[in-house]
Amino acid sequence: SQTIHQWPATLVQPVGSPLSLECTVEGTSNPNLYWYRQAAGRGLQLLFYSVGIGQISSEVPQNLSASRPQDRQFILSSKKLLLSDSGFYLCAWSVTGLGYTFGSGTRLTVV
Amino acid sequence: AQTVTQSQPEMSVQEAETVTLSCTYDTSESDYYLFWYKQPPSRQMILVIRQEAYKQQNATENRFSVNFQKAAKSFSLKISDSQLGDAAMYFCAYRSATDSWGKLQFGAGTQVVVTP
């Protein structure tokens, strides 16, 4: 069966520190992968999406970047975190592009 | 670009009663998919129900059903026999059938409160 793992679950980082959030998918090949951010009490904002290794598209300009070093691995990074980067980050995958399966999310607090 | 609108920030329902969440969307396309996702306090996103635009029959999953009105671009979710476990944020989402990237456009969400 297909599963998606996302870690860490919670992260508190100082302003200016780097960030690395990882997402891996099991049980499927060549999935479409997505990173979303959800601010407190708000909807979901698409940050990045990828249809293959090394293929990353960004929806909005920001302090974040994404990489896909392996078919089933998607990484969200930042060189220097800002206070505004705080939020709940969700990774998701889709094979046929129908619905998404989401990871359990990472709650990031930048202090 | 497509937009998804959920006009109800919060809905309250008593246990065993029925609540209907509204969702409208704006698109010029004829082939697309619509979804309802549930986000409980754990914040895990869970797919509740999916509707394909070319299917006239409304989708149903146990106590959850939709009223899909394609001409009106409306996609409401009905929760019947509400249970305490239904308390969550509910998101409506749209996906174009021609978008090979498979991107979903989400509404702002509706918070469902279930009272005993």
- Set out the domains of chain B in order of their start, with CATH numbers: 3-115 (2.60.40.10)
Residue B95 tokens, joined? 């996906």
Which residue from A49, A88, A96 is facing B103, i.e. has the nearest CB? A49
Percent of chain A scoring above 90 in pLDDT: 70
Q: What is the mean pLDDT of residues A31-60?
A: 89
Which residue from B45, B100, B109 is facing A90, i.e. has the nearest CB? B45
CB contact under 8 A, B108 and A42: yes
Distance CA A77, CA A107 (A): 14
Q: What is the mean pLDDT of residues A67-87?
A: 94
pLDDT given for residue A96 in this prediction: 66
Distance CA A56, CA A78 (A): 15
Chain A partners within 8 Å of B107 (Cβ): 43
pLDDT given for residue A92 in this prediction: 95
pLDDT given for residue B1 in this prediction: 64
Is the pLDDT assigned to residue A1 strictly greater than 90?
Answer: no
Chain B partners within 8 Å of A25 (Cβ): none
Indicate the pLDDT class of residue A61, thresholds 50, 70 and 90: low
Indicate the pLDDT class of residue A27, thresholds 50, 70 and 90: confident
Q: Is B116 on the interface with A (CB under 8 A)?
A: no
CB pairs under 8 A between A and B: 54
Please give the mean pLDDT across all residues of chain A. Answer: 90
Residue A66 tokens, joined? 């994404």
In the chain, the amino acid numbered B105 is Q
CB contact under 8 A, A49 and B35: no
pLDDT given for residue A50 in this prediction: 93
CB contact under 8 A, B43 and A105: yes
CB contact under 8 A, B101 and A104: no
pLDDT given for residue B34 in this prediction: 95
Chain B partners within 8 Å of A74 (Cβ): none
User: How many angstroms separate the first and last alpha carbons of chain B?
Assistant: 41
**Low-confidence stretches of chain B (pLDDT beneath 50):** none
Which residue from B44, B104, B109 is facing A100, i.e. has the nearest CB? B104
Which residue, among A69, A11, A6, has the nearest Cα to A36 in the 3D structure? A6
- Report which of residues A94 and B38 the model is more confident about: B38
- Report which of residues A40 and A25 the model is more confident about: A25
Question: Could you tell me the domains of chain A?
Answer: 3-110 (2.60.40.10)
Is the pLDDT assigned to residue A97 strictly greater than 80?
Answer: no
pLDDT given for residue B103 in this prediction: 87
H helix or E strand, kind and range, residue A70: strand A65-70
Which residue from B42, B43, B102 is facing A94, i.e. has the nearest CB? B102
CB contact under 8 A, B109 and A34: no
Residue A79 tokens, joined? 């060189």
- Is the distance from CB of A90 to CB of A35 less than 8 angstroms? yes
List the single range of A10-24, A49-63, B83-97 with lowest mean pLDDT.
A49-63
Q: Is B38 on the interface with A (CB under 8 A)?
A: no
Chain B partners within 8 Å of A96 (Cβ): 102
Q: What is the mean pLDDT of residues A49-60?
A: 89
Which residue, among B78, B71, B56, has the nearest Cα to B24 in the 3D structure? B71
Indicate the pLDDT class of residue A76, thresholds 50, 70 and 90: very high
